[in-house]
Amino acid sequence: MTTAIPLTLHLLVLIGLYELAAGVAGLTGQINWRALLDEFERSPALIFITGFMAFILGAVLILVHNIWTDVLAGIVSAVGWIAAIEGLLIMTFPAPLLAFSRRLVGNSRLISSFAAVVGLILILLGLTGRADPTSNMVIS
């Protein structure tokens, strides 16, 4: 696939590596999602700091890559917006997100597999994609 700027491809690989690592950790038992969530719920400070970090990472991604000119750029930009919104929600209304997360950890093998597959797809898209700044795509 073609995108307008090389940054999109690099960010796809990095986001994919994060997803792949989370998936592999869940599948290999390196992380116990249920225990992690139990500990997370017991610490209001950790909840707030996690929300803050998710917001900051999402906001930075939005600032450097709020580009919707093609599918690949849209994926990266959507990840930034999702992270920023999720961070704000974690800081302000954590209970609904924690309840949703509780339901997800009940299917941790499926969720971990999904994360690993999505990670691999994003890595492949980033590594095999092509940046063509001369294409008809308009960068905002």
Per-residue pLDDT tens digits for 48-65: 999 999 999 999 999 999
Over residues 76-125, the pLDDT tens digits come to 999 999 999 999 999 999 999 999 998 888 888 999 999 999 999 999 99
Q: Which phi and psi angles does 130 have, rounded to 5°?
A: -130, 130
Total count of domains within the chain: 1
Would you state the pLDDT for residue 134? 75
Domain span holding position 34? 2-127
pLDDT at 73: 95
Looking at residue 127, the DSSP 8-state letter turns out to be: H
> How far apart, in whole angstroms, are the C-alpha atoms of residue 110 and residue 12?
22
pLDDT of residue 1: 86
The H helix count followed by the E strand count for the chain is 6, 2
Instruction: Tell whether 138 is covered by a domain.
Output: no
